[in-house]
Amino acid sequence: MDQLQFVFSRANKWVLYRHASFWICWYLFQVYLYAFTPSPLLLAISFGARIGLTAIEGLFFIFPTMFLTYTLLYWIIPKMVIPARYLKATFWIIVLLFITAGLSALISLTILDYLRRLYFTRYFAQAISAPMSFGLKVFLAMMGGLRGSITIGGLAAAIKMMKYFYEKQQHALLLEKEKSIAELQSLKAQLHPHFLFNTLNNIYSHTQDTAPVAADMIIALSALLRYILYNCNTPVVKLEQEIKMIHEYIELEKRRYGNELEVSIQTPPNYSDLTIAPLLILPFVENCFKHGTSEVLERPWMSMTISLEGQIMQLKLINGKVQNKSVQTGGIGISNVRRRLELLYPEKFIFDIIDEEDVYIVNLKIELKPDTVPAQETNFKDNELTYI
């Protein structure tokens, strides 16, 4: 299990172990490899002396190598290669290669050139003085530093891509498994729709004259069940339909309280044909009534605000509760919704629950898509979305 954590975990401890091991191994390999240089000058001294020189050079050359590697890992690959912006990625890779070569040449012709001369005076009567043009020295310094940087940068990029495709495959398998389990549980719990609606119609016909309020509640319940049974069989539904269903559910709950319940609902005037995973908001609203308004003895209240900023939906749900009573946030309903958000909207949502002394607040921001499957890969940065 520790091996899997070492490779895939995003915890700071494992990330530090992983990167430190990678660079230590590369440094030791580079020091040992370059000690076998074919240069006649270096071959004239002992292997131990050559190791001493390459240890110094490798320590300085690791900085431009890190620059190239980390720009590839955390900028080029996630921002350009994965979103399939290949021309832009190619352009910036070429630019980065020139920058890396320049950094390597600068280090080689200044710090390392001085250290080499000091180092060789220990083994030779005079320092290196082979005639060479400045342009040739710059070119050789650039190529020498770039050689190792391209090797290790390419290796790190290959590992990054392999991890990305492996994690994507595992995510797809997990999502398929979760879907199969959910479908099986739904089939086990489902009454035959014809029996259910026929029964409701019979009850409605008997209560229409004697209990008109109960008849209206049965009609509302029938509409709610019809939406759950028939409209929610697809991966996504129109946001307008989902919010309409939430309205109907709240109206049904209001009948229990008569005029005692104070409700404030604000929804957007235009939904722009956005889609959302079905029944994603309902558990939050159910939670309001289950742990909030149903336990408040005097003037129970709740407030729901849904707004849109482009394709970003913002939900803020507030309800009163008994003072100093903590609401159970780890129930099955909320846990299932959180899991669905992680599976269907990876890195595209911000979810926060605030349990204060006398109010319970749910904040949700989520990036929706117009008529597309919500599990598509997109980046969602925290600085682009802040809490409501």
Other beta carbons within 10 Å of 103: 20
pTM confidence score: 0.49
Whether 354 is in a domain gets the answer: yes
Tokens read off for 384: 């682009």
Token pair for residue 47? 């292997």
Q: Do 178 and 268 lie in a common domain?
A: no
> Same domain for 46 and 176?
yes
347's torsion region: left (phi>0), alpha (psi -120 to 50) or beta? Answer: left
Q: Is residue 228 part of a domain?
A: no
Overall number of domains in the chain: 2
Task: Please answer whether residues 146 and 103 qualify as being in contact, where contact means their C-beta atoms are separated by less than 8 angstroms.
Answer: no
Nearest to 275 by CA among 146, 185, 372, 388: 372
- Domain-embedded: residue 196: no
Q: What angle do CA 378, 272, 178 make, to 5 degrees?
A: 45
Domain shared by 160 and 280, yes or no: no
Check whether residue 274 and residue 175 sit in a common domain: no
pLDDT in tens, the chain (388 residues): 455 666 667 777 778 888 888 888 888 887 877 777 655 555 566 666 777 777 888 788 888 888 888 898 889 888 888 888 889 989 998 998 888 888 888 888 887 777 777 766 655 544 444 556 667 767 777 776 677 778 888 888 888 888 888 888 888 888 877 777 766 565 555 545 655 666 676 677 767 777 777 777 787 788 788 887 777 778 888 999 999 989 888 888 887 776 677 888 999 988 888 999 888 888 888 888 776 565 555 677 889 999 999 899 999 999 887 665 555 554 456 777 888 888 888 889 999 988 887 788 999 999 998 875 443 343 434 444 333 3
> Does 166 lie in the same domain as 270?
no
Do the domain assignments include residue 229? no
Token pair recorded at residue 112: 């390392």
Task: Answer whether residue 188 is part of any domain.
Answer: no
The residue written with tokens 């299932």 in the block is 336
Looking up residue 282, the CATH number of its domain turns out to be: 3.30.565.10
Answer whether residue 326 is part of any domain: yes
Under DSSP, the state recorded for 210 is T
Would you say residue 108 lies in a domain? yes
Query: Would you tell me how many other CB atoms lie within 10 Å of the CB of residue 214?
Result: 15
Are 176 and 280 within one domain? no
Q: Domain span at residue 319?
A: 260-384
